[in-house]
Structure 1
Amino acid sequence: MSEPLTPEQELITKEFLERVNIQRYKRKFGSTPVSWPTAVRFLYARKFDVNRAVALFEQHEATRQREGLNKFDPREEPLKSELLTGKFTVLQPGRDSNDAAIAVFTAHKHVPANSSHQTTLQGVVYQLDVALQDHLTQKSGIVFIYDMSNSKYSNFDYDLSQKILTMLKGGYPAKLKKVLIVTAPLWFKAPFKILRLFVREKLRERVYTISAAQLQAHIPRDSLPLHLGGVHALDHDAWLERCASSSMNHDLLLRASPTGLPPSYDNKSPTSGRNHIEILHQKSKLVGGDGAEVNKGAVVVQFGGTRSKSGGTLGGGEEGADVDTADQWSHSDETNLNPPSSASSGFSDDDSLPGDGAAVTIGQLVEMVRLRGRSGLVQEYAEIRARLPEGSFNVAKSRCNLPKNRYTDVLCYDHSRVVLSEIDCDKDSDYIHANFVDGYKQKNAFINTQGPLAKTTPEFWRMIWEQHTLVIVMTTRVMERGRPKCHQYWESEKGAEVTYGHFLVKTLDIETDPNYTVTTISLTNKKTEETREVSHWQFTSWPDYGVPSSAKAMLEFLERVRRQQAAMVNNLGDTWAGHPRGPPIVVHCSAGIGRTGTFCTLDICISRLEDVGTVDIRGTVERIRAQRAYSIQMPDQYIFCHLALIEYALSKGHLQSVDLTDFDHAVAEDSD
């Protein structure tokens, strides 16, 4: 059963129907009017921006006419045989962590000589149309997996791939959340460079070329079939039966209600939607022209625009386009129609990890710190620490994995853990003590992990390889206060090398600084004989059981790490198709929560400050802790984040002066 629309959404839907049905009549697309469910589908795809939804509908109609996708019968050949190949299917059950449906195209099942472009596209559209009858899919979108496992060059059809991408990128009523290209062979690199040009820039950041093992970092294992590393037996025949049933029910519904409108709207005139919008305008304050705002109590609806005071957006920009507000970390895909996904999912719906706290300007942050003082921030940290973990630790606590954890009381969440590829069908070989953590406008920006043990170092380098990591950040020494904090997992002498598992780790160069050491490492996979360069950054001036007296060295260190990551991503060129900021940066100290969490908090807050001019330290820490349990281990680290951010703002001219002389003695009346 479909979720009811809000009154504003119903009015927008009626306006959409009026406009497209008039256009269809004028352009002779057919006498059958567009149905209410179809209208809602297009509006969800464009976040209820009626102008963008109408444009999408017109492009969609043109694409269907051009490719012969308007009238076809799945019971007739050649489409019947095409569907039975199972080359394209929608996983049932199966959704990603943000409730997006999952569609899979299996490349090795496609033989271009046996199937025309039109027939293949009909098979894709037929199944996607059924998938989009689901209200949750309309809201949450679709993840498209292009499985190239066991495929050959003879299976690849460049023109067909271009047509599918062209249709999905802007000619189909669905939010395309990600494209995951799994196990791409070497010969695919050249055509892939060209294919990427057919994907709009926003979506291009969501196109990933990944290994089969990495697939579980994007989609929960419970949602994947066996051949993709999941737990479900794929039943394509059952899905086709559902498609057939859904299609028949849809046809019966249209016959019963020619307009396709809900019963309460069936007998209304074609202009009733417009009249209702005009009435709403008359009762509210209308502020001029296209995209005008309609103030209605606490709600602001912007027809053709992007703002809604009711908690999100109703349109604007491209698919998944970003909307800057003072209360968001990032430009967000989330709207009042799509409530934010839980932080415990490990993967927010946009490309960031939005903060739960109150965003403030840097000046407001200074005033807050001054009034609350040290004791107020300690109290605030205590409130954060009092929250129970928001997830389970079952895999980390299993008997075979417990010895792989450095500390028995520091475990990693199941929902955000990094999953390694299995070795020799050993399901226990996929564990490493590490969690994905989102960054600013970047999902999985970091991998926060413990300092490797001697016995887990081979898995550590395997993770670096499988996640295509370019930069490692280490915020501890190997030994501190006479106690081992981390295994020496790389060689400290230039030219020295060591082997862990099937990886050869060689030190190429060493740069020393009073506060940190930079080591250039050559990492060779001895199985494939492929070599990559990894940059290792070790911050050495962080005192054990404390924080630096000044943030200057840490801020310089962080800035250089970011520049190094950017330079290495740039050197990858078109071979990197993921987020512009590159693959995850691996960050660790000893336990992987204290200094590691501090580093990530500063990076995220600084990025936000430079982008939108606001910060949210508490919200940042709370959400990081929801992906990496217990991050920011001590109150002094929480305080350091505040003082370091203020020091950064002073150094960059965002603040002219700051007086915190009473910081240690101030008593906060309210730390909420």
Structure 2
Amino acid sequence: MIEEGEEDNFCHKRIFHYVLKAVKQFIDLVNQIGSCSVRKNVSHTTAIKFLYARKFDVPRAVSLYEQHEQIRLKECLYNIDPDVEPLRSELETGKFTILSARDSSGAAIALFTANKHSPLCVTHTTTLQGIVYQLDVALQNTETQKAGLVFIYDMSGSKYSNFDYDLSQKILTLLKGGYPARLKKVLIVTAPLWFKAPFKILRLFVREKLRERVFTVSVPTLSLHVPRQALPRYLGGTLEIDHSTWLLHCYKSMTNREDELLANIGHQPSSNNLQTGTIITTNNTTITTATTTPVSTDFVGSGDQGVIDGAVVAETNDNNLPDTTAPLSEFWSENPPSSASSGFSDDDSLAGAEGDPKTIEQIVQMVKERGRQGLFKEYADIRSRAPEGTFIHAKMRNNLTKNRYTDVLCYDHSRVVLSQDTEDLSDYINANFVDGYKQKNAYISTQGPLPKTSHDFWRMIWEQHCLVIVMTTRVLERGRVKCGQYWEPAEESSSEFGHFHVRTISIESNEDYTVASLEIKNFKTEEIRNVSHWQFTSWPDYGVPSSALAMLNFLQKVRDKQAQMVKSLGDTWAGHPRGPPIVVHCSAGIGRTGTFITLDICISRLEDVGTADIRGTVEKIRSQRAYSIQMPDQYVFCHLALIEYALSRGMLQSVDLEGFDDRDDDSDLI
């Protein structure tokens, strides 16, 4: 019987043998093909880099190597000398740099700042040399080899004169399949309107699999992809960029860069032996081959280095080694790329998070058994729980006056963070992201804007790329102002809020709701976008609607409009299929807003898998937007509305709720 320690050692040796044979096969295949490379030999370290980039699938790694060499030759990316002009000046611009921090998965972060690029003043070759020179240094780190690369293309403050289509295509071509580092994400920050057309074409040059990893994001949403501590301050983070120190590190590392040194040297170690000091890392196992020479710490990177006792080349025997023609997938673990607009997977959303899902028949039975008072008690239990977060930003002195109600604050952990505006250094707005069904950050729950926060409201709409606004209150109710007039209620009228011009193009009035088509112009960027504004007007001053059908019809039309507008974005939207967050507000942003969102989530789940859990959904929403579902009647309404929806869709033939208490009409919904 094999002991646990012996079994681990056996597995480590097996991995080592796989890697060793893959390296040998890679070098042999490259030599047989007769690459066009100026290199006369391929080192084992080079082989490891390309094998890592293709998960040790030897044929794919060789194909990557061939394309890489062709690009280097075509673009003159060999024998790069950082001391020679114009490359020296190009490097000092800082337009391209590798950040000193990593993303949450350990990937290195490369940043290209578009407004620092002047196409008329520098050649493609010089710019590409500067990029490859720095990428080569970054890739000396084994953590980067393993975790890959995140590429941020920052278009903030850039003009059309800064954009170089051909260069962008060359960079994408290099990164998508001609460089030995796995490209985890491409984040295009603050893409201007004129970028829409070239972006559609550029996406055609990217493999379909990689296309899912290309995101157009605003500065505030960038932190959903990369931790704030890993982002520079002007991109909403806390990191200080020290490009000069990075360049010094690059220069010092030249002595360790075998690819440059060996480009025209004929002598190489025998392909039968791994280069002294080679470090191989697979999953959590790090294998160091027999070595008598110290290994450069720049190459090794951080982390403990494990050594397999006796796992030296002399032990290996090709006749006893496993076949490595198949990828080394059984030893490889990697989180799949996200398809959500926010950079999160469906597993992070409300889907499946509810604690007690029930079929619609079971929900009917539960409602009948508990009655109104029973649901009231259930709601009281939910409401009695203390908030699950802090309100530090909402309570800051400068932010207190931005809250419509002093007792309705927004959580820190889920709040919508605005970009740092030059006119207002605060990034605060009383708004929270709320997850939907199989969609992270599907909604933004927010209060009805105050006159002084209307500019912040439109900043949020713009920065989050929102397409649809749902308003579930009137501006005035029972003589009280419930919400500021942040848009013009008459056609062809307009208002200005900060640097946004909001024009009402058309208004469609219905019995239960009003739809306004709005045009938003950003004076700073000269961009124009369209937003659809949906105001539900049939919610009575007191209580809840007597029938849910009007609300259910309204909800469906909102969903249809969101889907239509997302479709019109075409390839410019690379996020979740359901699109950017839908903004939902009433007066405080918790009562009617929470009711609307709860119904939307429960209906989506009921349609998808045939079950729903209203209580679990409400509890989850309240963990993201404090105090959501403000009154017991709203909680009851969610149950009755879901049943009414099921009846209208033929999921139920009939419902008998005899004995269910009459509704009390003494609650004031904010």
TM over 0.5: yes
* Alpha-carbon offset, residue 474 of structure 1: 0.5
1:122 aligned residue: 132
The 5-angstrom pairing of residues 148-297 of structure 1 reads: 148-149=155-156, 151=158, 156-166=163-173, 168-169=175-176, 176=183, 178-185=185-192, 187-201=194-208, 204=211, 207-210=214-217, 212=219, 215=222, 219=226, 221-240=228-247, 253-254=277-278, 257=289, 262-264=307-309, 266-267=311-312, 269=316
Q: CA RMSD in A?
A: 4.9
Counterparts in 2 of 1:179 and 1:651: CA distance versus 1, 3 Å: farther
Alignment partners' CA distance in 1, 2:100 and 2:230: 8
Counterpart amino acid of 1:559?
A: Q
* Alpha-carbon offset, residue 208 of structure 1: 4.0
Instruction: Choose which of 506, 509, 512 in structure 1 pairs with 2:509.
Output: 512
The 5-angstrom pairing of residues 414-429 of structure 1 reads: 414-424=412-422, 426-428=424-426
* Alpha-carbon offset, residue 105 of structure 1: 1.3
Q: Which has the larger radius of gyration?
A: 2
Can you list the C-alpha shifts for 1:151-208, whole angstroms capped at 9, x where unaligned?
5666544344334334544676767554332344555443222112233556545544
Normalising by structure 1, we get a TM-score of 0.72
Counterpart amino acid of 2:407?
A: D
1:484 aligned residue: 481
* Alpha-carbon offset, residue 572 of structure 1: 3.8
- 1:362 paired to 2:394: no
Alignment partners' CA distance in 2, 1:272 and 1:625: 62
CA contact (8 A) 1:57 1:171 kept: no
2:264 aligned residue: none
2:337 aligned residue: 320
* Alpha-carbon offset, residue 120 of structure 1: 4.4
1:24 aligned residue: 26
- 1:407 paired to 2:405: yes
1:329 aligned residue: none
1:325 aligned residue: none
Counterparts in 2 of 1:35 and 1:263: CA distance versus 1, 3 Å: farther
Identify the range of structure 1 (555-564 vs 216-225) with the bigger mean alpha-carbon deviation: 216-225
Alignment partners' CA distance in 1, 2:417 and 2:536: 27
Instruction: Choose which of 54, 59, 65 in structure 2 pairs with 1:61.
Output: 65
* Alpha-carbon offset, residue 629 of structure 1: 2.5
Instruction: Choose which of 579, 584, 590 in structure 1 pairs with 2:581.
Output: 584
Alignment partners' CA distance in 2, 1:363 and 1:518: 32
1:308 aligned residue: none
Alignment partners' CA distance in 2, 1:562 and 1:540: 18
Normalising by structure 2, we get a TM-score of 0.72
Counterpart amino acid of 1:353?
A: S
- 1:113 paired to 2:116: no
* Alpha-carbon offset, residue 147 of structure 1: 1.8
1:90 aligned residue: 98
Alignment partners' CA distance in 1, 2:99 and 2:208: 27
Alignment partners' CA distance in 2, 1:634 and 1:38: 60
Alignment partners' CA distance in 2, 1:149 and 1:615: 43
CA contact (8 A) 2:350 2:617 kept: yes
Alignment partners' CA distance in 2, 1:532 and 1:127: 42
Identity, % of aligned positions? 54
Counterparts in 2 of 1:525 and 1:270: CA distance versus 1, 3 Å: same
2:590 aligned residue: 593
Alignment partners' CA distance in 1, 2:590 and 2:355: 23
CA contact (8 A) 1:42 1:57 kept: yes
Alignment partners' CA distance in 1, 2:430 and 2:542: 23
Alignment partners' CA distance in 2, 1:19 and 1:368: 64
**Gap regions ≥5 residues in structure 1:** 44-49, 278-289, 292-301, 306-312, 323-331, 334-345, 666-672
Alignment partners' CA distance in 1, 2:51 and 2:476: 64
- 1:414 alignment partner, SS class: coil
1:310 aligned residue: none
Alignment partners' CA distance in 2, 1:383 and 1:146: 48
Alignment partners' CA distance in 1, 2:571 and 2:310: 51
Counterparts in 2 of 1:132 and 1:273: CA distance versus 1, 3 Å: farther
Counterparts in 2 of 1:68 and 1:202: CA distance versus 1, 3 Å: closer
- 2:588 alignment partner, SS class: coil
Instruction: Choose which of 349, 356, 380 in structure 2 pairs with 1:353.
Output: 349
- 1:432 paired to 2:429: yes
The 5-angstrom pairing of residues 644-663 of structure 1 reads: 644-655=641-652
Instruction: Choose which of 134, 143, 162 in structure 2 pairs with 1:133.
Output: 143
Can you list the C-alpha shifts for 1:112-162, whole angstroms capped at 9, x where unaligned?
516357634523532542566169x82xx6542112345566654434433
* Alpha-carbon offset, residue 660 of structure 1: 5.5
- 1:447 alignment partner, SS class: strand
Can you list the C-alpha shifts for 1:482-534, whole angstroms capped at 9, x where unaligned?
43221233333444444444444443333233322222234444566654433
2:531 aligned residue: 534
Counterparts in 2 of 1:562 and 1:203: CA distance versus 1, 3 Å: farther
* Alpha-carbon offset, residue 592 of structure 1: 0.8
CA contact (8 A) 1:14 1:274 kept: no
Identify the range of structure 1 (632-641 vs 547-556) with the bigger mean alpha-carbon deviation: 632-641
1:548 aligned residue: 545
1:603 aligned residue: 600
* Alpha-carbon offset, residue 452 of structure 1: 1.2
CA contact (8 A) 1:182 1:215 kept: yes
Can you list the C-alpha shifts for 1:534-591, whole angstroms capped at 9, x where unaligned?
3211112234564334432222111101111222233344554544433332110111
Identify the range of structure 1 (228-237 vs 203-212) with the bigger mean alpha-carbon deviation: 203-212
1:145 aligned residue: 152
Counterparts in 2 of 1:468 and 1:364: CA distance versus 1, 3 Å: same
**Gap regions ≥5 residues in structure 2:** 32-41, 259-274, 280-287, 292-304, 663-670
CA contact (8 A) 1:11 1:273 kept: no
Counterpart amino acid of 1:66?
A: Q
CA contact (8 A) 2:590 2:628 kept: yes
Counterparts in 2 of 1:621 and 1:274: CA distance versus 1, 3 Å: farther
Q: How many residue pairs align between the two structures?
A: 596
CA contact (8 A) 2:67 2:177 kept: no
Identify the range of structure 1 (7-16 vs 581-590) with the bigger mean alpha-carbon deviation: 7-16
CA contact (8 A) 2:475 2:485 kept: yes
* Alpha-carbon offset, residue 401 of structure 1: 1.3
CA contact (8 A) 1:617 1:642 kept: yes
CA contact (8 A) 1:13 1:36 kept: no
